[in-house]
Amino acid sequence: MTPVADSFDLTMLGLEAGLRVQHIAAFNLQTCSATDSADAVLADKSFEDFDQIPVRDDAGRIVGVLSRTANPVVGNVSVVMQQLDESLLVASAAPLMSFIRLAGTASYKLVLDEGGIRGIVTRSDLLKLPVRLLAFAFMTHLEMLMAAVIRKKYPPPDETWFDILSDGRKTKVLEKREELKGSRMELDLLEFTDFCDKRKIVKRIAGFGNDFIEDAEEAEGLRNQIAHATTFITSDAEATEFALKIQKAEKWMARLQEVIDQMAQV
């Protein structure tokens, strides 16, 4: 393992230990009855902000979920609801990342604690601060690993990698270094590169294909959206895309670490 990987592992262990599903879930459940009319429940103003409504039986137990759909729903809730099974459940103490990874295929989960089902977590909860923190950490680490690959190939003070950049990007990097000239900070030239510079250099070093560039561009775009507190999820499709970007970032982090380890063996 490299110091960069060790630092990330320690950071993520801390974040995952501290950030759990319970930190983004809603625990004041509004429920309907299994004997209610489904169309009446969905038309009820008190439920208009909810796409998934937990269902209770006569004994007060949650036995399923009524989901809002584009098509009219007719009949009792018990007939049209999704029956409760373990695939709908997630532990409140589960690492938050576990739900982020599932968000691409699961639009919601009922949240289970020692007292039973007490809450619900949905794709809309992906916009909350704890998720932003984790996602930003992932995208930042991806850039740090790219820098680690470059430094492994061109150990400072070797700046041969600079020749890979276009003239326009070289000018930008040198301008940034010039701005900090009097700051007394001894930074190597790579510190003044942007995400786009690193991905171009790494593509050449590692021999990655255009899929690396495309995925890295998506990662950079997501990181910038999070950094500027942009609402980056407004639909189920975008939630699925967000989860996919996290998965792609994980894939490339693993690939970059493999490149670093291989370089260390030469």
pLDDT at 103: 82
Residue 256 pLDDT grade (very low, low, confident, very high; cuts 50, 70, 90): very high
Mean pLDDT value across residues 38-63? 95
* Token pair in block for residue 238: 């975008």
pLDDT single digits (tens) 71-125 = 878 899 999 999 999 999 999 999 998 888 888 788 899 999 988 999 999 988 9
- More confident position, 150 or 243: 150
Q: Which fold has domain 20-122?
A: CBS-domain (3.10.580)
Sign of CA dihedral 98, 102, 107, 108: negative
Report the mean per-residue pLDDT for the chain: 91
Helix H or strand E encompassing 238:
helix 236-265
The pLDDT > 90 percentage for the chain reads 71
pLDDT surpasses 70 at 1: no
pLDDT at 185: 67
Q: CB under 8 Å to 116, separation ≥6 — which residues?
A: 61, 62
Helix H or strand E encompassing 203:
helix 195-206
pLDDT at 5: 61
Residue 69 pLDDT grade (very low, low, confident, very high; cuts 50, 70, 90): confident
Q: CB under 8 Å to 218, separation ≥6 — which residues?
A: 245, 248
pLDDT surpasses 70 at 236: yes
Residue 2 pLDDT grade (very low, low, confident, very high; cuts 50, 70, 90): low
pLDDT surpasses 80 at 17: no
Q: Is there a contact between 193 and 174 (Cβ–Cβ < 8 Å)? A: no
pLDDT surpasses 80 at 4: no
Q: State the first-to-last Cα distance of the chain, in angstroms, to the nearest integer.
A: 15
- More confident position, 52 or 70: 52
CA separation for the pair 220, 214 (Å, rounded) = 10
Neighbours of 162 (CB within 10 A): 17
Sign of CA dihedral 167, 169, 173, 175: positive
**Which of these ranges, 3-17, 145-159, 184-198, has the smallest mean pLDDT?**
3-17
pTM: 0.84
Q: Give, in order, the Cα–Cα distances in Å from 223 to each of 213, 216, 229, 230, 231.
A: 15, 10, 10, 10, 12
> Where are the chain's structural domains?
20-122, 129-265
* Token pair in block for residue 122: 């949905």
pLDDT surpasses 90 at 258: yes
pLDDT single digits (tens) 142-187 = 999 999 999 999 999 999 999 999 999 999 999 999 888 766 667 8
